[in-house]
């Protein structure tokens, strides 16, 4: 079997041969008239002898004597092509195809459509044109790559080799589309917020730091956008949301990636209870429209979204560590956890009937935290006291804090309506809805340790 270097050398030789014949192996444009999926859908209309032009990557090739079949994929569908020497493709073009084209190359195929004896929709090629000459071969059998992280490093090959991976990311796009539609249909406005921030606020996490040369000052990548969203409510907006990247300088495991996608929203004149009702409707809407039913499978268990979501009060005195190890993994069906101690979040409003607790909830499905939400603090005096507690922690060396933000406090002092805030981990939600346990499986290009 030829080595990778030998295969590359042979393909470079073919590339140079094309160039020597005056053929551009990487032309600027194509003459494609239909996508492959369009050609299949309109097949009956296009079989009247009129030439069509298709294009795509050659993914299989079967040549024998004076005929050659190959399959090509343009990202919408696979299609079969047939070449016949002298009928109708000229001999010199047939020979050029034999000598210059390989699996992995991108080609443009002009010809007429017909059905084979096996009822395979096929294009009878009159001309085949090189669109992009590949120099490295596609993996024949993906299981030959033993290192799982190679799939993530070379996601482009992962997508080509494993159709289910591509389908997963198509499903991810659909999930985000459904979430966005639900928010907009419920009166929310989507906004764009800064990714360079003078303070990393809105959550308790260690940020990433960067530097702006012209201003000669440090900025932070967002760990959350909550404070900006609440300032917009103070500025007169009613319902706002953003779907964007968040960055937290934390460990990497099956449910954490330093760069992740999050939806954050704030709605004026509501509270945690109202936001719980909203979240339950959102999740049921997404599942119903994604699967066509209210049940889906995750790791061998059926998750049923039909009943009302369960509600569990945070047990008095329970530590977060014990909860994560002993309780959360057992929460399979959708469950809201409510009534946390004040120390758990510096931005949540205290409960009126018990000031030692905050009006906060989290949604857990299949042992995974998907949503964090609460009645937002809009009392600037209370907020300043909470900030001072965070600053004390920071002075003692704790990194996962939310430092005092004087600009935000000033905005609060101008007046901020009562409101509820929501944070949804998009990656984790996609994990659950696509039945995978590793967050890297739902991020196209996850953060990885460099190869040594």
**Predicted local distance difference test score (pLDDT) of residue 142:** 43
What pTM did the predictor assign? 0.93
**Predicted local distance difference test score (pLDDT) of residue 156:** 93
**Predicted local distance difference test score (pLDDT) of residue 144:** 42
CB-facing half-sphere around the CA of 408: CA atoms within 13 A: 23
Q: At what angle do helices 272-291 and 426-434 cross, to 10 degrees?
A: 40
| Separation of alpha carbons 358 and 349, rounded Å | 6
CB-facing half-sphere around the CA of 48: CA atoms within 13 A: 4
Q: How far is CA 12 from CA 5, 25, 63, 153, 286, in A?
A: 10, 11, 22, 25, 49
DSSP-assigned beta bridge partners for residue 218:
211
Which CATH architecture fits 4-132? Answer: Beta Barrel (2.40)
pLDDT in tens, the chain (452 residues): 789 999 999 999 999 999 999 999 999 999 999 999 999 999 999 998 889 999 999 999 998 888 999 999 999 999 999 999 887 777 788 889 999 999 999 999 999 999 999 999 999 999 999 999 999 998 875 444 446 888 999 999 999 888 999 999 999 999 999 999 999 999 999 999 999 999 999 888 999 999 999 999 999 999 999 999 999 999 999 999 999 999 999 999 999 999 999 999 999 999 999 999 999 999 999 999 999 999 999 999 999 999 999 999 998 888 989 999 999 999 999 999 999 999 888 889 999 999 999 999 999 999 999 999 999 999 999 999 999 999 999 999 988 888 899 999 999 999 999 999 999 999 999 999 999 999 999 999 999 998 87
**Predicted local distance difference test score (pLDDT) of residue 204:** 87
| Separation of alpha carbons 39 and 411, rounded Å | 57
Nearest to 225 by CA among 254, 257, 196: 196
Residue spans of alpha helices (H) in 25-100: 36-41, 91-100
326 is in an annotated binding site: no
| Separation of alpha carbons 21 and 392, rounded Å | 74
CB-facing half-sphere around the CA of 77: CA atoms within 13 A: 13
| Separation of alpha carbons 206 and 222, rounded Å | 10
Boundaries of CATH 3.30.930.10 in the chain? 152-442
> What is the bridge-based pairing of β-strands 121-132 and 106-115?
antiparallel
CATH number for region 152-442 = 3.30.930.10
Boundaries of CATH 2.40.50.140 in the chain? 4-132
**Predicted local distance difference test score (pLDDT) of residue 289:** 98
Q: CA-based angle 85:52:136, to the nearest 5?
A: 65
DSSP 331: -
Number of H helices, E strands in the chain: 12, 18
């Amino acid at each position: 079997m030829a080595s990778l270097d030998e295969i590359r050398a042979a393909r470079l030789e073919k590339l140079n041969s094309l160039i020597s014949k005056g053929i551009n192996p990487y032309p600027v444009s194509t003459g494609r008239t239909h996508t492959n999926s369009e050609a299949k859908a309109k097949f009956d209309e296009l079989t009247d002898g009129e030439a069509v032009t298709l294009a795509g990557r050659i993914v299989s090739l079967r040549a024998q004597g004076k005929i050659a079949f190959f399959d090509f994929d343009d990202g919408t569908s696979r299609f079969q092509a047939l070449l016949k020497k002298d009928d109708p493709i000229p001999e010199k073009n047939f020979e050029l195809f034999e000598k210059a084209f390989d699996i992995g190359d991108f080609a443009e195929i002009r010809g007429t459509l017909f059905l084979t004896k096996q009822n395979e929709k096929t294009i009878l090629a009159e001309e085949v044109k090189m669109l992009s000459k590949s120099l490295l071969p596609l993996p024949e059998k993906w299981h030959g790559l033993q290192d799982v992280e190679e799939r993530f490093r070379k996601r482009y090959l992962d997508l080509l080799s494993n159709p289910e991976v591509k389908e997963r990311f198509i499903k991810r796009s659909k999930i985000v589309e459904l979430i966005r539609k639900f928010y907009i249909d419920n009166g929310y406005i989507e906004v764009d917020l800064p990714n360079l921030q003078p303070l990393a606020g809105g959550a308790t996490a260690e940020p990433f730091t960067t530097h702006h040369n012209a201003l000669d000052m440090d900025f932070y990548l967002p760990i959350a956008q909550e404070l900006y969203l609440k300032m917009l409510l103070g500025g007169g907006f009613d319902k706002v949301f953003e779907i964007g990247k968040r960055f937290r300088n934390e460990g990497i495991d099956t449910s954490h990636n330093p760069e992740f996608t999050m939806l954050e929203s704030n709605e004026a004149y509501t509270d945690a209870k109202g936001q719980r009702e909203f979240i339950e409707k959102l999740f049921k809407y997404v599942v119903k429209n994604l699967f066509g039913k209210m049940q889906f499978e995750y790791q061998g268990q059926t998750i049923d979204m039909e009943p009302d979501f369960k509600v569990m009060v945070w047990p008095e005195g329970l530590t977060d560590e014990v909860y994560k190890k002993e309780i959360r993994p057992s929460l399979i069906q959708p469950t809201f956890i409510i009534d946390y101690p004040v120390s758990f979040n510096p931005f949540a409003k205290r409960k009126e009937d018990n000031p030692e607790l905050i009006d906060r909830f989290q949604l857990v499905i299949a042992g995974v935290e998907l949503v964090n939400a609460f009645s937002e603090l809009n009392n600037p005096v209370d907020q300043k006291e909470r900030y001072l507690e965070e600053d004390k922690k920071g002075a003692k060396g704790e990194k996962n804090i939310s430092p005092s933000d004087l600009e935000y406090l000033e905005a609060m002092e101008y007046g901020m309506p009562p409101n509820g805030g929501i944070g949804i981990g998009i990656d984790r939600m996609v994990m659950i809805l696509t039945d995978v346990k590793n967050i890297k499986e739902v991020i196209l290009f996850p953060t990885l340790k460099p190869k040594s």
